[in-house]
Structures are given as C-alpha cells and as structure tokens.
Structure 1
Amino acid sequence: MSNRPLTRKQVFRRRRITVFSALAVVLAAGVYLPTAAAADVPDAIAAVSAPAVPTTPAAVPDFPEFGRGAIGAVGWDAPLAAAGDQGRFPIASITKVVTALVVLDAKPLAAGESGPNLTFTDEDVETYDEELAQDGSIQPVRAGLVLSERQTLETMLIPSANNYAISLARWAFGSEDAYLAAARTWLDAHGLTDTVVVDASGLDPASVSTPANLVKLGMLALAEPTIAAVVATPSATEPGIGEFDNTNKLLGVDGVDGIKTGTTDEAGACLLFSTDVTVGSHTVTLVGAILGAPDHDVLNDAVLALLRSVTPGFQEVTLVTQGDEYASYATEWGEKADAVAAKTESVLTWSDTPVTAQVSVEPVEDASRGADVGSVVFTVGTQTVTVPLELDATIDAPDFWWRVAHPPWSR
C-alpha cells in the first residue's frame, strides 16, 4: 500500500463526495419520511361469514273434508291456507256483516255510542211477516218501537234477525235497492270484488262470496269497534224485544270472539270466525271462514280443530342476537376486529316462510369500537328486517415506524 500523502486535489474531491452524500441523505430523509408517513395505507377488507338463518317447519292446517274454507291473520296480505272450492258460494247470514259495515260507513258510530233512534213502522211489521213466511230468522217488532242504531245492529247481528237487517238498511239508505247500490260501491272500494249481495239479510242464495273475500271481510269487521264489540256479545236484551242469545255458540271457546253464523239450505251451516292467540311477545288475530257444513255442531268442531292446528304454525323466531359475528377485519399492520350485530332482532313467522340474509360491510382503515361498518338484511317472506353491524374492537391506524418501513409504492 502506498503511504504517499493525498494531494490537495484528492482531499478536496473526497470532502466534496462526503458533503454531497450527507446532503443527499438529508434531502432524502426530508422528502421520504414525511411522504411515507402521510401516504395512504391499504384498507382492511372484511372477510364475510356465511350468515346463518333460522328455519321453521311447515304448518298443516286441519281443514274439514266437507265444504270450503280459508283462514288468515291480521297483518298478512292473503289467507294463510285454504281448502275446497274457492269460488263464489252462498254465504247466508254472513251477508249481515256487509250490511253492518255499509250502514256504519254511512251512519258511523263511535265506540260505545248509541247513535240516532229508529222508529219502526207498519212497513217494518210487513217485513217481519214476509220473513216469517219464508222461515227466515226474525225478532219481534211493532209499529212505534224505538231503538237506537246500535240496538238495531245488535238485534241484526247477535240473534241474526233478517227483518232487522232489512229495516236497518232501509233506514240508512231510504230503500233496500239504494242500500244494495251503496253496498256494491263499498265492496268494490274495499277490494271485495268476488262478493255479491242481492239482499240485506242473506236469505237469498244469490248473496255469495269466496272464502278469501270472507277472511278480508272479517278483518274489516274487527277493525270497526262497534261491530267487533257486538259480535263478541253472548246475549243482549232490547226494549220491546226481550233477551236473545248469540247464534255463534263458539263464543268464548278457545278464545273465539266472533264473528257471524249463517244457515240456509243452499249455504249449509257457515261461520265467519275470529280469535286472538299469543305467540311469544306477539298477539295474532286469526280470521277464518268455513262454508257448507252439514250442521253447526259439526261445523263448530271443525273450526276448533282448524284453529288448534293453525296456532302452532306461528313462531317468534330470533333472527340475530346482539354480538353475533358476520365479518372479520385484519389489517396489514396487525390490527384485528369483528363486525357484529348491534342488536337482537326477532320476527313473527308463519309456517315454513323462507328466511334469507344478505351481509354488506365497508372497508376499514381505522375506526373506533362500536363504529357502524355495515348491515345484515333479513328477508322473511315479504318483509325485511335490517340490523346494523358494528366493530367489536378498535382498529388503530399504523404508527410512524410501520409507515416508514413500508414504502408507499409497496403498499
């Protein structure tokens, strides 16, 4: 090795290299470090778990072999189940439910109100005689008898008096023909296009409906407080008439609280019925109709068997429990958290109604515990239930040293 001293030129060159190298390092650090620290970091993309959904067994409604029928529940758009011919069929005195609804539409009564008075005349006595001659269901009347609108409704619906149905319709609309025109308008307005009434009492077999229409008619009746109260009344006493019993012998049995019987040779024994059942935290109002039974004893047994078979078909199902995991996050800098249900949600289902779930979550860079990161949407039949998803732990942003050690172009 040469020990000759460096020339001035060599020393100057080495010093210049050292200075410029140091300056380059300083400049690089001054540019790279803040750039690396400020550059975007990759979002954590959630790994979604396949959502579990509940399943329920199919209900098997126990309809009778005779006649035809349908059953539904308030809040459900269509009948839950039906059996037999679903076409139009005579409905006998169930027709009086239409009469009550149409009259109350024209002459409304508040809950518990008696309403205006009706003074019965010789024409009403003639109506009584005509119904008696046809072996129709009647209650006594005399010229000069005064009853309130509610009392007249009670006499029509509870003992099913044909003559009082005709008198009430005539009082409200001036004539039975005017009533029938109003009834057609009312039925069309409420979507009961398969229901035809040609009289106020239902004695005429041309007053017809379908089981599905009757289920809807029953729900409309229960929504009218005056009718709902009257059809649930076991017996009543009216001035000038006396005491009479409800023709519906199922009232109070297994919670049955209405609605209307009907009996003619053409229709057989018929019943439009309702009851409330408790399912978990829910109350379900069932409404059904069976037409064409051989007699009311057989019909009543069939109605009870149907109700007892339908009730277990309703279930309160837990869709999700607060804290259930639906997705997980893991960042490149080691942070981890899960997307979990923010609340517990349940739903009332009927039979084997299908349940599906769709999870939607957002990418996360950093977020606090409890932050909203998406949702899970359950579809249960025709209804949807949305449950928010939140983080079960905080995801912190990467620190300075991770950012420096992972250049922006490598992220």
Structure 2
Amino acid sequence: MKSRFVLAALTAFVVGIALAQTPTPPIPPVPQPNAAAPASDALPVPPPPEITGTAWLLMDATSGNILAGENVDMQVEPASITKVMTSYVIAAEMAGGKVAKTDQVMMSENAWRTGGAATDGSYSGFEVNQTAPLLEMEKGMVVQSGNDAAIALAEHVAGSVDAFAALMNQYAARIGMQNSHFVNPTGLPGEGHVSTARDLALLARALIHNYPEAYSYNSIKEYTVGSITQPNRNVLLWRDDSVDGIKTGHTSAAGYCLMASAQRGDQRLISVVMGSTSEKQRADDSQALLNWGFRFYETHKLFDAGTQIAEQKVWKGQADQVQLGLSQPLLVTVPRGRYEQLQPMMDVPTALVAPIEQGQAIGTVKVMLDGEVLAQRPLVAISAIEEAGFFKRLWHELLMWWHSD
C-alpha cells in the first residue's frame, strides 16, 4: 500500500513539473470575416511530404524514434554516405588512443590509383607518396568526399582496406546497424556493400552524440588541398542555417543519396533519402522532410541531469532518504500541441538498503503517450548513502521484518 502511495505521489510530482514547464500558448488571432479558421496544433499530424527514392526516413535524434519513413530496412547501396562510417571508426580509434590528429598519413600509390583524380569518383588531391596530417586528410574525405583520402586513412588506421572494413563492421554492430555490411571505406560499388535508411540514421545519431567534433567537420562548406578548392556537395548547408551535416552519395546503382541533420533550438532531426533521381531532388526532399518534422513535432526538456526528481526511503543508512535523478537530461519529442498529454511513470524498488553509491541505478522513469513509451531512462542516486552503525542497522532489520508482513 505504501509503495503505491509513493508511486502515485512521484507521478503527480512529475506531472506537476511537466505542466509547469508548458509554454504559455500565444493569443489566437481575431477571426476575420470569411477567413479560414487558424490551424490548430492539436489537430492530427498530416502525412509527410511525398519523397522520390527507394528508401527514406526522418528520425528524432534525441530519442531515436522514427517520425516517418518508407522501406527503412531495405538494403541499399550507401555510396559515399559510407564515409560517415569511416569517420566514426577514425573518431573511435582516436578516442581509444590508437591514432592521433597529428599522425602523418601517407597517400599511397594504391589509394591514389584506386581513389584519385584518374578515377571517375570524387577525390581530394593529396599528392601520391606524400604525407599529410590525419586531420587534414580526414577533412579532405569528409568535405570533398575524397575516395583517395578515405583509402589512405583506412590503410593508416588498420594497415589495409580489408582490415579497416572489418573494423567498420565491428563498430556498426555496436551501434546497432543490424542490416549493414561494409567492404570498403569509400562507398564505391562492392559485392555485399549494403546498408539501410534506419541503419544510416542510427550511424548519424551515434556520430553526433559520441563524437561531436568529428561530426562538426561535415558543416565545413569548402576545403582546399594544394591548389584545389572543392565545395561540400551538401547544398542544404547553403539553403538552411540550421543544417550542419551530413553527407551526400551517388553511384549509378545507388542513385542520388543524402543524409542530413539540422538543429533548431533543443530539437535535432536526421533525414535519410536513398535512391533519389537527381542532386536537386534529394536536396528538395530532404529539406521538405526536415521542415515537416520541425513544423509538426517539438522537443521538450523534462529534467536536467543531476536534478532531484524523486526521493525514496533507505534502510540501514546514515541518511533515511536517497535523492533520485538522471545522469543525462531527459528530452522527448512529441506532436505539437500534445505536450500536456504526456504520462510520466516511475518504477522504484520499495525496499532500498544502504550502502548506495552515487550514480547507482535505482529504478526507471518512463514518459508515455497514447500507451507507447517515448523515452525511458534509469533513475540514479544523486549522492551516496553510507551504511549506518550497528544499532541502527539492527533496528532497521527488525522494522523491515515487521513491514514485510
């Protein structure tokens, strides 16, 4: 009975905070004669725009929820969007101390011949049998989509393209890319080199969250290697100031592809369009998806990291209560006008026994809408609770036995 009371109180507490944070709605315009009634944010979300392509989706970067999509798990050739996976591997290996920005990367003859200016693909222009700092080589790959730079980086990080591809697949599995397989770092056609719109969005989300500096290179509009200056092929960087990435791709088999991301306020969306018919079409469709998502969905921060949102009884501790909060901010993305309909719930053990470490997971908090879980995070102890002395522990042992009935 007591646990139900505690849970109800905590739920009411969360709802109170959520309602307190709800922005005051604007004053509606005065209706004009013969004018159409103003649109209401409480109306159902309209269908997304029509997209030209074999597969596409729009994902909320905060929660990972897919807001709209078609053929999201169809395996397709990722073309040069593959280089986002290459960037992820480099960033992860750098974080692990395996490579550094200042490493001198050799533009090998193999990289130059298979990905350089003599090929039909995009290239960066680093001189053959010459070295350049890893950071410069990576920007040549990201901004210019240089196949030569991607191959040179793969050889530097793993010793060979095949070994680097094995790393790509290992990191893809960690990210949760269940339907992807990579055979090279460039995205040039290769047997079994496939991914999906869902997997690529998961990759973008992981790069944004885990390695923001590496992600930031995607917002660079042009890059110069030697005497060659090339623009970023993502034209949305010029169209929309909120767009800061990510990557284009094209082969005759893959069609025109674009993975984009934009942030407006606290809200970040990721779009993936695969197999489009032209550079213009992939950009137009990606822009339409992003605009639709920002117009009809909104992101709210419910709780900051480290802020107390609940308190729970502790047995056998120097303190009798433990403060519970979150280790990371909790944000949710919902259809506009439905923020007040969120249903927060908490699941906390009824019997907590000291000692409790700071940051220890105690329970979970869920945020639901229409019976579906929008977000779920572990509740953690904001501060440690040390074990009490002998006599208090003994007394609490008796009380716990008594209350167990």
Normalization by structure 1: what TM-score?
A: 0.62
Q: For residue 170 of structure 1, what is the aligned residue in structure 2?
A: 155
Higher alpha-carbon Rg: 1
Q: For residue 334 of structure 2, what is the aligned residue in structure 1?
A: 350
Contact 1:78 1:212 in 2 (8 A): no
1:355-396: CA deviations, max 9, x gaps? 365999xxxxxxxxxxxxxxxx974442489xxxxxxxxxxx
Amino acid at match of 1:300: A
Matches within 5 A, 1:11-410: 56-59=42-45, 60-84=47-71, 86-108=73-95, 114-128=101-115, 132-133=118-119, 135-204=120-189, 206-223=192-209, 224-238=211-225, 240=226, 242-254=228-240, 255-278=242-265, 283-315=266-298, 348-351=332-335, 355=341, 379-380=368-369, 381-382=372-373, 383=375
1:48-102: CA deviations, max 9, x gaps? xxx9999943323214143320111122133221124631111100001111111
Amino acid at match of 1:150: L
C-alpha distance 252-350 of structure 1, shift in aligned 2 (>3 A): farther
- The Cα shift of 1:168 comes to 0.7
Contact 2:60 2:333 in 1 (8 A): no
Q: Which has the higher contact order (CA 8 A, sep 6+)?
A: 1
Contact 1:139 1:241 in 2 (8 A): no
Amino acid at match of 1:152: M
C-alpha distance 63-310 of structure 1, shift in aligned 2 (>3 A): farther
2-side partners of 1:201 and 1:212: how far apart?
A: 20
C-alpha distance 252-227 of structure 1, shift in aligned 2 (>3 A): farther
Q: For residue 21 of structure 1, what is the aligned residue in structure 2?
A: none
Contact 1:276 1:285 in 2 (8 A): yes
C-alpha distance 294-65 of structure 1, shift in aligned 2 (>3 A): closer
| Count of matched residue pairs | 285
Contact 2:62 2:332 in 1 (8 A): no
The CA RMSD over aligned residues, in Å, is 3.4
Contact 1:63 1:83 in 2 (8 A): no
- Local SS of the residue matching 2:237: coil
2-side partners of 1:318 and 1:261: how far apart?
A: 31
C-alpha distance 105-275 of structure 1, shift in aligned 2 (>3 A): same
Amino acid at match of 1:258: G
1-side partners of 2:96 and 2:217: how far apart?
A: 12
2-side partners of 1:62 and 1:198: how far apart?
A: 34
Contact 2:52 2:277 in 1 (8 A): no
- Local SS of the residue matching 1:107: helix
Gaps in structure 1 of 5+ consecutive residues: 1-50, 320-345, 361-376, 386-411
2-side partners of 1:347 and 1:198: how far apart?
A: 36
- The Cα shift of 1:190 comes to 1.5
Contact 1:58 1:313 in 2 (8 A): no
C-alpha distance 90-359 of structure 1, shift in aligned 2 (>3 A): closer
- Local SS of the residue matching 1:89: coil
Q: For residue 34 of structure 1, what is the aligned residue in structure 2?
A: none
2-side partners of 1:187 and 1:318: how far apart?
A: 29
C-alpha distance 173-277 of structure 1, shift in aligned 2 (>3 A): same
Q: Percent identity?
A: 23
- The Cα shift of 1:120 comes to 2.7
Contact 2:140 2:149 in 1 (8 A): yes
- The Cα shift of 1:202 comes to 0.4
- The Cα shift of 1:222 comes to 1.8
1-side partners of 2:174 and 2:295: how far apart?
A: 34
